[in-house]
Structure formats: structure tokens, C-alpha cells
Chains A and B, each alone.
Chain A
Amino acid sequence: GAGVSQSPRYKVAKRGQDVALRCDPISGHVSLFWYQQALGQGPEFLTYFQNEAQLDKSGLPSDRFFAERPEGSVSTLKIQRTQQEDSAVYLCASSLAGLEQFFGPGTRLTVL
């Protein structure tokens, strides 16, 4: 069956531009997570949704980062006024009620 998909796979932005990253979770998965992975590091938690409710956003690094999941399925991570330090791979994962998380391939964001 279809896994978690993310788009775009690669994104280059000029410093100061806004970007939107999309995640399509596995159908029926109520939990959705966003992680940020810097080069050579493990993924770091950003935020978590259960259906459309954002239950934990403690990992969002600044108020320039915003995530939504309005209908409890597709999610979008938006970064406003991108900075060079935002360059990373952004990973989305989904799961059924706390069971193992299934990850997408990630979006590699490069901010010039």
C-alpha cells in the first residue's frame, strides 16, 4: 500500500522567502509528526497532531514555523522568512494511535 508521501522532495529558497512543505500520511493514521534533520544529526521533533488537533508544538524553533492539518489528513509545514539555519531535511511521519511511526522520504530544504 501507499506509504507517507512528501512534496516537494527538494526545495531551494532565497533567504527571506516563505515555503510550504506538504505531507500526505497513510490513510487512516490519526497521528502525524514533523521532524527536522540537520546534516549528520538525528531527526529532531517539531510538532505532533492527533487528527486535526495540534497537541504538541514544543519543538518548533521559532514563531516563523507553523504547521496545520485542517481536515485531519494532509498536513502542511510552513516556514516564513526563511533563514540559512532552516536548511535541513524535514521529515513527516504518521502512526495509528501511538504505534510505530512510518516516515516519509523527507523534503530537503536549502536556503541560500
Chain B
Amino acid sequence: DAKTTQPTSMDCAEGRAANLPCNHSTISGNEYVYWYRQIHSQGPQYIIHGLKNNETNEMASLIITEDRKSSTLILPHATLRDTAVYYCIVRVSILTGGGNKLTFGTGTQLKVEL
């Protein structure tokens, strides 16, 4: 799986949009971008994933650049409960016969403040 690079930490004011960047310049054509987050003392939680089109769900939006070398996770209205470590992961889809495991980096510690 391709390697990802994320900032170590970010701060965001409550109610504002949180934009978390991720670089994955060596991503292959059959690799998806996944985002998970881990709130303190909990297991990681799936947020969203995409291949090349932008994606949106009830939790967040995922913007992938046209060359797919980077992406941004957007939390439109951050709350204190969004304080967590956010992991950007690149992996091959199981549907194409790829591996199943997730390769986590160290992620971005997002701190949402009043």
C-alpha cells in the first residue's frame, strides 16, 4: 500500500470547518483513500473512502485532487466531540483481490476548541 503523509497536529475552532490534508503521491490507480479517526481510549472509527471522485456522507466530505496525489477530509462544522486522531490510509480494494489489512501511520491529532 502507498505511503501517506499527514501533519502531526491541527487546531480548529468549534463550529468552523476542519480541513485535514493528506499526501499520497505514490498512490496507484487501483488504490482507494480511506479515512478513520480514533477518539481517545476508543477503537478507530471508519469515516469515509473514495477512489477519484469527491465523496460526502453524514460525517464528512472527501476531496481528492485530479492527479490523486493528495486529498482533504472536511468536517463541515467541527464540534468538541470531533477531537481525535485522524488517519489517512491508502489501500487496494478487496474487490480487486487486494489485501485486507489497514496500514495506519501516526495520523493528525485534531483539537477542536471553544
Residues of A in contact with B (beta carbons under 8 Å apart)? 4, 31, 33, 35, 40-45, 48, 55-56, 59, 91, 93, 95, 97-106
Residues of B in contact with A (beta carbons under 8 Å apart)? 34, 41-46, 49, 85, 87, 93-95, 99-107
Set of chain B residues within 8 Å of A40, measured between Cβ atoms? 106
* A61 CA to B42 CA, complexed, in Å: 23
**What residue in chain A is nearest B46 (Cβ atoms)?**
A100
* A31 CA to B102 CA, complexed, in Å: 13
A42→B94 contact, CB < 8 A: no
Set of chain B residues within 8 Å of A41, measured between Cβ atoms? 106
Contact residue among B34, B46, B102 (Cβ-Cβ distance under 8 Å from A43): B102
B44→A43 contact, CB < 8 A: yes
- The list of the 10 closest CB pairs from A to B, nearest first, reads A98-B94, A103-B43, A42-B104, A100-B46, A45-B101, A103-B44, A43-B104, A91-B43, A104-B43, A42-B106
A42→B107 contact, CB < 8 A: yes
